[in-house]
A and B are shown apart, each in its own frame.
Chain A
Amino acid sequence: MYRTIIKPTLILVTIAFIASFALSHINRITKGKIEERVRRSREQALLAVLPATLGYVITEKDKKVTVDGKDFFYTIAEKTEGDKKSRAYAFECEKSGYSGVIRSMAAVDETMKLIGISVIQQSETPGLGARAKEIATTDTFISHFFGSSKGKVAAGPVRSWFEEQFTGLDGSKQIGIMKKGEWRAENESLRKELMEKNSVSAITGATITTRAVIAGLENGIVQLRKVLEQEKPAPAQEVKAK
């Protein structure tokens, strides 16, 4: 009885106790740092989707509401142009991609037109789905060693072409996917075509990732609309009605 039950139990309890004691200390040391990182990455994403150059001022940050039994965070920003006041909403959305959840932050204006999106967290295949977030450097081994300054990345929040092409699309309609290869801001004809069809160009070899980002976004917009419906009449919309 002692050898087979009590002694092993005591040993296991002791080891588990020591382990959890050590872990609680490690947790205390790292907790603050981890929270700080999460907060900062969110703030950066917010800055990327609602750039200061557009003139939006954040009025309410990280408002929490419950939609369909789930927590939903969103941020309200306001812009004053002359005597007209308009609002923009930034929110977080998520959807499973090819290998894990893709979380992104998106901003829309009152008509649900997309101002910008930014992928916050993803674990897609590097070189494929991860290109939703990756920015291809033009920095090569040769230029690195011979000190050419060509291809230095600009300071501040930078977005990949995949994120940038969402700007200006209509979030209230379905967003389509076209396989047109890499999107470039200079390529006017492709840009126009995509705008007309309310579509984005998929990442080559990563249609699942592209689809997941769009599905997450559409879910987010549906939820945001529900929230706004609940909170009517909002003061900003009264101003607009005049």
Chain B
Amino acid sequence: MKYVHLITNGIWYRNPTLVIGIGMCPTLAVTTSVSNALWMTLATTFVLVCSNALVSVVKNITPGHIRIPIFITIIAAFVIIVELSIKAFQPAVDKALGIFIPLIVVNCIILGRAEEFAQKNSIIDSIFDGIGMGMGIGVTLTLLAFIREILGANNLLGYTLIPGMEPSLVMIMAPGAFFTLGFLLWGMNVIKSRSKR
């Protein structure tokens, strides 16, 4: 029950992008296509789960005043592992996501979870928290990308939707990301306030 709660917490109650409002930069940048969003989710979740687990392991030997450099070292190591593996085995993904994979190091969701959760809780809890938060990012990114790809590129996972239709370019550019994110936030808050009543 506790683990289920940790997962739903990440997806809904404390969704990192929509509720806590962190990690916006990659969220807005990579959601131009659903496949990009899914790969970014996979990469971020892997780093998040691994770094949460390791931070939780070393929490007792970490002196408080140097915890940040230690967390960053751990996170950076996992990010480089992801980056090199993607470069070697998925060159197409490397081309599409490019700079955003190495930038996971400074994604505040990961450092935020290390600081807020993993350094105070057991390994198993931290791993579940990582999975939950990862799924939260995944749901948000995929939804954003789904809307933006359909409207902005008339395309979904490599297939043209309506042949010959000119898509609205603004949705694929930065403003489109903000519009869509705004609507998602609005939708989420409507559902939340309804369920409270």
Contact = CB atoms under 8 A, between A and B. Distances in A.
Given A126-B32, A139-B160, A33 B172 contact: no
B74 A34 contact: no
B84 A140 contact: no
A34 to B, nearest CB: 5
Interface residues of B, number: 41
A19 B55 CA distance: 13
B4 interface: no
A64 interface: no
A234 to B, nearest CB: 36
Contact of B89 (A26, A33, A122): A33
A34 B99 contact: no
Interface string B34-50: 00100000000000000
Interface residues of A, number: 35
Contacts of B91: 37, 41
**Secondary structure dominating the interface of B:** helix
A144 B153 CA distance: 18
B114 to A, nearest CB: 13
A230 interface: no
A157 interface: no
Interface in B90-149: 91, 95-96, 98-99
A154 interface: no
Contacts of A26: 80-81, 84-85
Interface stretch (B11-19, B20-28, B64-72, B184-192): B64-72
B33 interface: yes
B160 A125 contact: no
Contacts of B167: 127
A96 interface: no
Contacts of A30: 84-85, 87-89
B46 to A, nearest CB: 13
A141 B163 CA distance: 9
A22 B76 CA distance: 12
A26 B77 CA distance: 10
Interface in B143-197: 152-153, 155-156, 158-163, 167, 169, 172-173
A123 B99 contact: yes
Interface stretch (A9-17, A84-92, A159-167, A212-220): A9-17
B9 interface: no
Given A100-B98, A100-B99, A127-B153, A11 B63 contact: yes
A33 B88 contact: yes
Contacts of B85: 26, 30
A121 B163 contact: no
A27 interface: yes
28 contacts: A8-B66, A11-B61, A11-B63, A11-B70, A12-B66, A15-B58, A19-B74, A22-B81, A23-B81, A26-B85, A27-B84, A30-B87, A30-B89, A37-B88, A100-B99, A122-B95, A123-B99, A126-B36, A126-B172, A127-B153, A127-B155, A128-B173, A136-B160, A137-B158, A137-B160, A139-B159, A140-B160, A144-B159
Interface of B: 32-33, 36, 58, 61-63, 65-66, 69-70, 73-74, 76-77, 80-81, 84-85, 87-89, 91, 95-96, 98-99, 152-153, 155-156, 158-163, 167, 169, 172-173
Interface of A: 3, 7-8, 11-12, 15-16, 19-20, 22-23, 26-27, 29-30, 33-34, 37, 41, 100, 121-123, 125-128, 136-141, 144, 205
Given A37-B87, A126-B153, A127-B169, 7 more contacts: A12-B70, A15-B70, A30-B84, A34-B84, A123-B99, A127-B155, A140-B163
